[in-house]
């Protein structure tokens, strides 16, 4: 499930280039930007669809043309962010010659960049997972896809004799992905220092490398 599954994206020309966004696409994108902007200042419970629309100069009826309610809008905004993350993560498995520690650090940099840039939105999404089955399914799918990329890296390193065989790479990678997700949520959903932001990836890197058996062969 992606944002394009829900609402469509800009059309492409006959030569495969992305065409200019239509007025409707621009409005929809602006609404997604607007909810992120407002979430940075107050919780979702205090935000209405009318607030989101008026923040960018649209009427509430205009917003209803694109989204049934604010929760559907938040879902679309989250899916857009997750799509971008997955686009960044997928190529990480394409460099089998790269040291594992370097690859892991790049994964964590991607995750840090994601949470640093979208913490209010992602925090709101986590709080909605138990209430919005569609959002939960999309979140779990994104976690699984992120884990698949890491699982490929683990399998490649095992084939090169650099890691021991400690079980299904996908199961291991998925457990790592959820560990990282919860760690980032717990940090970015509260007041924290820059030092804590910088320390978390180092802690996670050590745990991940230990968990996959780096140095045990």
CB 69 within 8 A of CB 132: no
CB 162 within 8 A of CB 100: yes
The fraction of the chain above a pLDDT of 70, given in percent, is 90
**Higher per-residue confidence, 55 vs 91:** 55
Residue with tokens 């940075």: 40
Cα dihedral across residues 94, 97, 98, 99: positive or negative = positive
Q: Report the pLDDT averaged over residues 37-56.
A: 97
Res 217 pLDDT > 60: no
Res 129 pLDDT > 70: yes
Backbone phi, psi, residue 18, to 5°: -70, 125
Where do the H-state alpha helices sit in the chain? Answer: 3-7, 23-39, 49-54, 60-66, 70-89, 100-128, 133-159, 169-188, 194-211
Res 105 pLDDT > 90: yes
Cβ within 8 Å of residue 196, ≥6 positions away: 187
Q: State the CB neighbour count (10 A cutoff) for residue 72.
A: 17
Residue 115's nearest CA partner among 45, 172, 182, 206 is 182
Q: Give ∠ CA 189-190-194 in degrees, rounded to 5.
A: 105
Q: Report the pLDDT averaged over residues 108-116.
A: 95
- Determine the Cα–Cα distance for residues 113 and 215; give it in Å rounded to an integer: 28
Alpha carbons within 13 angstroms on the beta-carbon side of residue 59 total 3
Q: What is the per-residue pLDDT across 148-174, written as a single tens digit (0 to 9) for each? A: 999 999 999 999 999 999 999 999 999
**pLDDT for the residue numbered 11:** 32
CB 100 within 8 A of CB 214: yes
Q: State the CB neighbour count (10 A cutoff) for residue 194.
A: 7
Res 15 pLDDT > 50: no
Res 10 pLDDT > 80: no
Q: What is the value of pTM for the model shown?
A: 0.85
């Amino acid at each position: 499930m992606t944002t394009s599954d829900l609402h469509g994206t800009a059309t492409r020309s006959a030569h495969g280039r992305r065409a200019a966004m239509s007025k409707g696409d621009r409005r929809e994108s602006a609404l997604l930007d607007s909810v992120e902007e407002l979430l940075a200042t107050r919780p979702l419970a205090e935000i209405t669809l009318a607030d989101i629309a008026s923040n960018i100069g649209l009427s509430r009826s205009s917003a209803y043309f694109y989204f049934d309610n604010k929760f559907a809008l938040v879902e679309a905004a989250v899916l857009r962010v997750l799509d971008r993350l997955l686009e960044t993560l997928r190529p990480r498995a394409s460099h089998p010659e790269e040291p594992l520690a370097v690859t892991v650090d790049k994964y964590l940099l991607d995750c840090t960049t994601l949470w640093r840039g979208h913490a209010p939105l992602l925090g709101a999404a986590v709080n909605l997972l138990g209430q919005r089955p569609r959002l939960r399914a999309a979140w779990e799918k994104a976690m699984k896809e992120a884990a698949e990329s890491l699982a490929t890296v683990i399998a490649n390193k095992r084939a090169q004799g650099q890691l021991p065989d400690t079980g299904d790479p996908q199961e291991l990678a998925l457990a790592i992905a959820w560990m990282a997700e919860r760690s980032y949520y717990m940090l970015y959903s509260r007041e924290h220092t820059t030092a804590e932001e910088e320390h978390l990836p180092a802690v996670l890197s050590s745990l991940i490398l230990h968990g996959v058996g780096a140095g045990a062969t």
